[in-house]
């Protein structure tokens, strides 16, 4: 068996889960990093030509240059890696490769390849483009997940639910509202995440355009740098050391970390609802739940989601701590860290996929949900004592506490208590009609508005 077989992979990202992550692998792999660096060197040379510094390149010559990028393949990437292993510098190896290609094509301007740049000018733009491409894969799946949770909420919009605060029976809510709230929180963060800019810099060895200005003092290098970066779909920053400040990256990582935390709360609640039989899992005749207990159906998709969310956020947390800091004008400790951005994205994507899969396997258990509500009429104590206050009963809270605290009250005993109250007929009728199934306040109205707001945020 080949060592390249997924069974030999060091991590599950490249082994067990490889087939689910092909799109992300194509973005965050070293091959794409090399190809993007090559693309940027070519685009930069063309831009210098258009600026009037490098020799003028006609459209045919520019097309030849772009074809070097477009026709780039894995064999050429291996050539670059061979040079890198020899000289110990990854970006310089690409520069040498490109010089050979241009010289062989008789295209002028070889000496202007990588002109006045530091490696970080190319690297930061390459990573920014990778991050942008990665988000373009993550965001549609997140949007689908939010829509699936919203659909699940819509199906339970009128299903009363025994709420629990501090783990204890509390005033009722609905499944629709509780599920919809997670979707709304995710949608808010999705809306912000999709608009976050990704920065890039192109300003030389320590960020001051030293070599640029020395060589061509008459050029507006600030304008050139900004225009070049904008042409890549990135937000230019003029102020940096040798490295791009990672602030725009950090905001993306923080947003994804929050998305993952919200989703973690969701899947843990779903797990609990399944455990309490409030949610039923669909039976798959081909799936085995336990190696020894034949009756079991385990909520494995939600458990896998939880585990992958934890892995992703552990990495995002480290990125957030590490990347804003660099000693003096730069140190290289960020380089190996950035190579792992794709890993955090991969665990995040796996979590989204698992949650979507899990949602397709559950349904509401209306019978069990209603049964539990009927066992806890004490949850109406809040409503009763509040209405009694409107009748100037200054001991309303104390009466209900004495009657209900620490007790499980049934419909019969609560009805008897209501009948004993010395209040006007209209108020008593209101309380007699009150049940765990209709003490829902504005829940349905709120949920419908929330669902409408979710779709606005996604569009």
Query: Alpha helices of 105-241 — where are they, by DSSP H?
Result: 119-155, 175-193, 210-215, 221-231
Are 326 and 241 in contact by the 8 Å Cβ rule? The answer is yes
The SS3 of residue 339 is coil
Q: Is 405 left (phi over 0), alpha (psi -120 to 50) or beta?
A: beta
What residues does 236 pair with on adjacent strands? 200
Whose CA is closest to 345, among 32, 6, 8, 5? 32
Residue 114, SS3?
coil
Distance CA 69, CA 403 (A): 78
Whole-angstrom Cα distance, residue 428 to residue 23?
A: 64
3-state secondary structure of 162: strand
Q: Which of 2, 19, 59, 166 is catalytic?
A: 166
**What is the DSSP code string of 351-378?**
HHHHHHHHHTTEEE-HHHHHHHHHT-GG
User: Which pLDDT value is given to residue 3?
Assistant: 64
pLDDT at 380: 97
User: How far is the CA of 94 from the CAs of 36, 65, 69, 420, in angstroms?
Assistant: 10, 14, 12, 88
Residue 415 annotated as catalytic: no
Considering only CA atoms, which of 457, 451, 363 is closest in space to residue 178?
451
Domains of the chain with CATH codes: 10-115 (1.10.275.10), 120-370 (1.20.200.10), 377-432 (1.10.40.30)
How many angstroms separate the CA atoms of 347 and 107, rounded? 44
What stretches in the chain show pLDDT beneath 50?
none
Q: What is the pLDDT of residues 101-147, one digit of tens each?
A: 999 999 999 999 999 999 999 999 999 999 999 999 999 999 999 99
Q: Is 191:399 a contact under the CB 8 Å cutoff?
A: no
Residue of 89, 290, 333, 415 marked active site: 290
* Predicted confidence (pLDDT) per residue in 278-315, tens digit: 999 987 777 777 777 777 789 999 999 999 999 999 99
Element (H, E) at 164: strand 160-165
Helix, coil or strand: residue 390? coil
Is-catalytic flag, 275? Answer: no
């Amino acid at each position: 068996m080949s060592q390249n077989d997924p069974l030999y992979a060091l991590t599950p990202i490249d082994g067990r889960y490889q087939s689910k992550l092909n799109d992300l692998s194509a973005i965050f792999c070293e091959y794409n990093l090399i190809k993007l660096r090559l693309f940027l060197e070519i685009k930069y040379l063309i831009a210098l030509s258009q600026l009037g510094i490098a020799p003028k390149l006609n459209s045919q010559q520019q097309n030849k240059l772009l074809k070097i990028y477009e026709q780039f393949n894995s064999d050429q990437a291996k050539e670059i890696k061979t040079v890198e292993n020899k000289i110990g510098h990854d970006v310089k190896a690409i520069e040498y490769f490109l010089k050979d290609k241009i010289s062989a094509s008789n295209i002028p301007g070889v000496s202007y390849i990588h002109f006045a740049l530091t490696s970080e000018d190319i690297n930061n733009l390459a990573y920014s483009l990778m991050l942008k491409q990665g988000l373009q894969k993550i965001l549609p799946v997140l949007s689908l997940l939010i829509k699936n949770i919203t659909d699940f909420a819509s199906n339970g919009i009128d299903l009363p639910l025994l709420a629990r605060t501090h783990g204890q029976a509390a005033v009722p809510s609905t499944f629709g509202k509780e599920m919809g709230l997670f979707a709304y929180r995710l949608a808010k963060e999705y809306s912000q995440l999709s608009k976050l800019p990704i920065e890039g810099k192109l300003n030389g060895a320590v960020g001051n355009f030293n070599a640029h200005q020395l060589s061509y003092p008459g050029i507006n290098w600030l304008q050139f740098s900004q225009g070049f970066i904008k042409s890549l779909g990135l937000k230019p920053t003029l102020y940096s050391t040798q490295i791009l400040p990672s602030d725009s990256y950090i905001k993306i990582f923080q947003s994804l970390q929050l998305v993952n935390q919200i989703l973690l709360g969701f899947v843990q609640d779903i797990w609990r609802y399944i455990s309490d039989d409030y949610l039923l899992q669909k039976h798959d005749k081909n799936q085995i739940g336990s190696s020894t207990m034949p009756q079991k159906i385990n909520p494995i998709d939600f458990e896998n989601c939880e585990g992958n969310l934890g892995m992703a956020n552990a990495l995002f947390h480290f990125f957030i701590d590490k990347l804003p800091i660099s000693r003096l004008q730069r140190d290289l400790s960020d380089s190996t860290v950035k190579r792992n951005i794709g890993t955090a994205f991969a665990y995040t994507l796996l979590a989204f996929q698992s949650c979507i899969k899990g949602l397709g396997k559950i349904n509401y258990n209306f019978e069990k949900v209603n049964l539990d509500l009927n066992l806890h009429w004490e949850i109406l104590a809040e409503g009763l004592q509040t209405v009694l206050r409107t009748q100037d009963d200054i001991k309303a809270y104390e009466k209900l506490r004495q009657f209900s605290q620490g007790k499980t009250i049934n419909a019969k005993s609560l009805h008897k208590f209501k009948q004993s109250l010395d209040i006007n007929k209209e108020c008593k009728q209101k309380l007699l009609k009150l049940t765990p199934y209709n003490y829902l306040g504005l829940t349905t109205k709120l949920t419908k508005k929330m669902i409408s707001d979710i779709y606005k945020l996604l569009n």
